[in-house]
């Protein structure tokens, strides 16, 4: 009985933290100025928020088999979220969907300039 109350309390705290992560993502999406800073906010609920909610669910269910499924779901999200964020950020950089005046350092600019002058490069790079 004592342990059940403690586990329920831990699950409740994890639930609220997961909800706060998605709220932070929403506020960041509204408030941040350009694509790449919005992407920074948008990956919060995908990794930490989903982990918190899955842990809360696994604690509530109290079975080790559900922990395995939970870890599978989280691992899948952990593998796919960086790849999709990388692809979106790369497309955003190369199609100039960003605000260059907000950057403090742009280490990709020289490489992209050289690639875009090459006649065999991709069409979406603006020549």
Environment class of residue 60 by beta-carbon count within 10 Å: exposed (0-12), middle (13-18) or buried (19+)? Answer: middle
Q: How far is the CB of 104 from other proteins (least distance, A)?
A: 22
Nearer to other proteins, 91 or 108 (CB): 91
Q: How far is the CB of 39 from other proteins (least distance, A)?
A: 6
74-106: b (≥16 Cβ within 10 Å) or e: beeeeeeeeeebeeebeebbbeeebeeeeeeee
Q: Which of 86, 92, 103, 96 is nearest to 126 (CA)?
A: 96
CA 84 to chain centre: 9
Q: Which of 115, 112, 76 is nearest to 92 (CA)?
A: 112
Q: How far is the CB of 93 from other proteins (least distance, A)?
A: 10
Nearer to other proteins, 56 or 105 (CB): 56
Nearer to other proteins, 76 or 108 (CB): 76
Nearer to other proteins, 105 or 126 (CB): 126
Residue numbers at the binding site for other proteins (CB under 8 A): 8-9, 11-13, 15-16, 18-20, 22-27, 29-30, 35, 38-39, 42, 45-46, 49-50, 53-54, 56-57, 60-61, 66, 69-70, 72-73, 76-77, 80-81, 83-85, 87-88, 90-92, 94-97, 115, 118, 120-126
């Amino acid at each position: 009985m004592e342990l059940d109350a403690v586990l329920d309390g831990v699950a409740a705290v994890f639930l609220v933290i997961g909800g706060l992560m998605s709220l932070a993502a929403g506020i960041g999406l509204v408030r941040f100025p350009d694509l790449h800073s919005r992407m920074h906010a948008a990956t919060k609920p995908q990794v930490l928020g989903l982990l918190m909610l899955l842990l809360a669910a696994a604690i509530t269910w109290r079975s080790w088999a559900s922990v395995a499924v939970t870890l599978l779901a989280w691992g899948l999200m952990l593998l796919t979220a960086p790849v999709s964020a990388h692809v979106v950020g790369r497309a955003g950089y190369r199609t100039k969907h960003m605000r260059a005046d907000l950057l403090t350092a742009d280490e990709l600019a020289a490489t992209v300039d050289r690639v875009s002058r090459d006649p065999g490069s991709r069409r979406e790079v603006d020549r």
